[in-house]
Amino acid sequence: MSSPNIAPQIEESWKQVLWDQFQSPYFSDLKQFLLEEKKHYSVFPPGKFIFNAFNSCPFDKVKVVIIGQDPYHDVGQAHGLCFSVQDGIPFPRSLVNIFKELSDDVGFRMPHSGNLQKWANQGVLLLNATLTVRAHQAGSHQNHGWETFTDCAIQRLSEQRVGVVFLLWGNYAIKKRELIDETKHYVLTAAHPSPLSASRGFFGCRHFSKTNALLMSMGKSPIDWQL
C-alpha cells in the first residue's frame, strides 16, 4: 500500500474503483500543481468539497450522471457538485435556467436554495470534468489532470454498471459520449443551460421527466427533483 497522502479522502467504493488513478504519475503531478496554486491563490471549492460528488453518491448507487465543466469560481459558490451552489448563495444563471426547465417539465417549484445535495443523495452524480478552479479565473485548472481522472470515472461507470442515465448538456459534455457504452446505458443530450444557449435546445428538452421514465422502466425509483 502506498503512503496515505497519495490517495485523497474519497468514498470507499470510488477509492477502490479509481485506486490505480491515485497511483498514476499524472495524479501526483496534479496534486503538486494544486499545492503550488494554493500557495499563491484561493482555490475553489474548499478541500473538503473537492470530491463531494463522489462522496455523496457511492459507485454502486449512481443512477444518473450530469456532467459540468468547471466549478463556479466566485467566493462561496462551489461545493463540489456541478451546477450547485451552497445555501444562501444567489443562483447562477445556468442554474436558474435548469430550474425553469424543471418547472415546465415536472412542475418544479422555485426553491430557496440552489444546493443540489438532495439530488446527489438520491444517486445523481453531479460531476464537473475539472474539480478545482482558481478564484475568479474560469478554466484555470483545466488540462492539469482532472479531466483524465473524471473521464476514467465515467468510463468505469460505463464498464462496470448497467442502466445509468447520462445527461450531457452542451458541446463540452456531449464529447464525453464517446466514453459511454450506449448498448448498456442511456444518453440524453441537449444544449447547455447557459443564457447563451438555453433557448437553442435546453428549454423543452424535458430531460428530468425522461430520466424518471427511464429509471422506472428499469424498476428503479425516480428522482425527486424538488428541493
Query: Annotated catalytic sites, by residue?
Result: 70
- Looking up cell 492539469 gives 144
Cα(40)–Cα(178) distance, integer angstroms = 37
Q: Beta strands 165-169 and 43-44: pairing type?
A: unpaired
Provide CB contacts within 8 A for 204, sequence distance 6+. 101, 104
- Hey, which residues does 65 pair with through a beta bridge? 125, 166
Eight-state DSSP code of residue 167? E
Give the residue among 12, 6, 98 at the shortest CA–CA distance from 60.
12
First to last CA, the chain: 41
- Hey, which residues does 124 pair with through a beta bridge? 64
Positive or negative, the CA dihedral 72, 187, 51, 62 is positive
Provide CB contacts within 8 A for 31, sequence distance 6+. 6
Q: Which three cell numbers stand for residue 142?
A: 483545466
